[in-house]
Amino acid sequence: MSVLTTALAYANKQVRVIPIKQGEKRPPMQGWQNAATSDPTTIRTWFEGQFKDCGLGIATGEFRDRYLIVIDIDDRQQFSGSETLADLEQLHGKLPDTVEVITGSGGRHIYFLTDEPIRNEASGTLGIGIDIRGIGGQVLAPPTKHPNGKNYEWVEGKSIADRKPADMPLWMSLLLTTKTQPQLSVKPLPDQITPPPTSLLREEGPLDRYCAATTWPELLRADGWTQAHTDHTGETHWVRPGKDAREGTSATTGWQGKDILKVFTTSLPNLPAGAYNRAQYTAQMFHNGDRSAFAKYLLQQGKALIPVEQPTATDDLLASLINWQKFWSQDFPAEDWLIEPIIPRNQLVVIFAPGGTGKSLLALYIAAALATGKEIFTEAKPPTSVLYMDYEMSQAVLYERLTAMGYSDKTDLTRLHYASLPPIGSLDKPEGAKQICDLARSCQADLVIIDTFARAVEGAENDADTVRNFYRWTAMNLKQEGRSLMRIDHAGKDLKKGARGTSAKNDDVDLVWQMTKVDGQLVLLRQKHRHTWIPERINLTIHDQARMFTQDVKGGERLDQALKMLDELNIDPTMALDPMWKEVKDRAETIYRVVRKDARKAQTMRKNQAKETMFNDF
């Protein structure tokens, strides 16, 4: 069968194909990721014309309404992907029967379908000798020749033209979408500890009876977990022991309707990130992951394990209602900032501005500084994970801006999870909302930035339902998980009327900033707010140095009194704001009659002046 005939057969199954250069493993054109197609006319034009002598590739990633992922097994003298796969199958169970190719080098291409947006990866999460071809990738396909001259061939009865790829096993999907999973790269030696299995198959004997006789709320609450909420997909979110519910999700139960615990946190030494049934969870927590030891313990106890009815969605909702006794015993901060004075913690914040004002530059400055622990507006924070969804800026522009801010290849940007032109669903739809929420959990992001709103949604900007659906599916779920969300928006023709599009854009947000550029400063004016401690106006001076922005604090009698107090008390101008207030609080309120807000403004002004002196001396 000719390359053209074969390509049309693949395209008939909606598989996207691409020409491959003879004797190589890459397409002959630039931007092939966007050129790959299942359109018969384009395919005929290619293989009857300019690319008639080319081989054939299959584009991985988007496939109908799902994702086509290829697991590339490679055996070489230095390593064996087949052995790595055998180890994985021993831990998790055999792979399902699916579409498969024998490569020209004697390896295997194993095709799967999944709902998860998995990207390319070389010998990483699944182990040495196993590469992943996902979003933005491609694989050579029969009847193409390998550069060594040998053909790629379908395993008999397993051609993609004849059958649909199987669904990716859940354990594999979890490994590829949870960054903190342990890697399995070589066969474990007898004296090594094998990573805990995450097989979701039912247990047998006492472990099976234990699963049937227990519930997740019963087990988790007894171990100090707190139930946070149940989202629109039916997943119940849990917060690990010792963590405040406002700090975000640590694990969920009910993922994709399955009776499992999916763990995201890496802060529990006895419980690595992964998926567990109730027997596996208890064995991991209290028997060092030894299920056999736990089974023996159950038999020795001789306790009858009576099956119980599992909680319903209503039970989960009832459990998520506020416990008033616990509510009044909490210590709520007077002000709770993620980035003072712009982004309160666990709030939906909008910044809108005319084009070219610098809203994306400010957002990137905040994101990179927060992720690296760099000082932001005179206040340094511990390095914090940020998920930045950039729907507009090219990587070349990103490079230019980061280097201008003083970042380089020597900078640790691992906590800045940056998605450039992200290939995910629309955020006003359930599918896209689930993808970004899953991604935020995997990154353990405290801040999610969406730049810009118009490109992240499918509906029209001037349609109120678009904004309401965005809040319902995306924003509300991110907030419920304890994350702050910053949405970048374009201004309308009349700046006074707010962001471009429907007035409903302000309905469900917590804080709205209108941003303009005036005389070398960015001016942020508060338009809507829920808290009384949000300033009415913020002036940010723009600098050429790497620090980029500093807050310009305006004076007044109260500020003068606060400055006098700090000077008289010999407070170090470089001291951070929270320690400063702790140091002066008692005397500020009783002797100087200075409130917290003015003391922080005064200290910010002193820090700015100290920095100006430092730069001038330099």
- As a whole number of angstroms, the distance between CA 390 and CA 456 comes to 9
Residue 47, pLDDT > 60, answer yes
DSSP 41: H
- As a whole number of angstroms, the distance between CA 360 and CA 371 comes to 16
- Taking the CB of residue 564, how many other CB atoms lie within 10 A of it? 13
Read off the pLDDT of each residue in 450-467 and give the average, rounded to a whole number.
Answer: 91
Nearest Cα to Cα of residue 111 among 321, 103, 577: 103
Straight-line distance from the first to the last Cα atom of the chain, in angstroms, rounded to the nearest whole number: 73
pLDDT in tens, 88-136: 887 777 899 999 999 988 999 999 999 888 888 865 678 888 989 999 8
Residues contacting 348, CB < 8 A, separation 6+: 471, 475, 479, 484, 485, 487, 508, 509, 510, 511
Counting every residue written for the chain, the total comes to: 618
Tell me, what amino acid is at 17?
Answer: V
- As a whole number of angstroms, the distance between CA 298 and CA 307 comes to 15
Residue 351, both tokens: 């910044």
pTM (two decimals): 0.52
Q: Which alpha helices (H) appear in 13-168, and where do they start and end?
A: 32-35, 40-48, 81-92
CATH entry 3.40.50.300 includes domain 337-552:
yes
Q: How high is the mean pLDDT of the chain?
A: 83
The pLDDT of residue 200: 40
Read off the pLDDT of each residue in 502-523 and give the average, rounded to a whole number.
Answer: 89
- As a whole number of angstroms, the distance between CA 123 and CA 302 comes to 46
- As a whole number of angstroms, the distance between CA 539 and CA 242 comes to 38
Backbone angles phi, psi at 253, to 5 degrees: -115, 155
The pLDDT of residue 186: 34
Residues contacting 538, CB < 8 A, separation 6+: 341, 342, 513, 523, 524, 551
Backbone angles phi, psi at 192, to 5 degrees: -90, 155
- As a whole number of angstroms, the distance between CA 441 and CA 248 comes to 9
pLDDT in tens, 129-176: 898 999 989 999 999 999 888 999 999 999 998 899 999 988 788 778
Residues contacting 225, CB < 8 A, separation 6+: 238, 239, 240, 241, 250, 251
Read off the pLDDT of each residue in 495-507 and give the average, rounded to a whole number.
Answer: 84
357, 522 contact by CB (below 8 A): yes
Q: State the residue for tokens 């992720």.
A: 371
The pLDDT of residue 546: 62
The pLDDT of residue 466: 92
The pLDDT of residue 123: 54
Name the residue ranges covered by the structural domains of the chain.
3-177, 206-329, 337-552, 557-617
The pLDDT of residue 197: 40
Read off the pLDDT of each residue in 338-355 and give the average, rounded to a whole number.
Answer: 92
* Residues 48, 49, 54, 57, Cα dihedral to 10°: -70
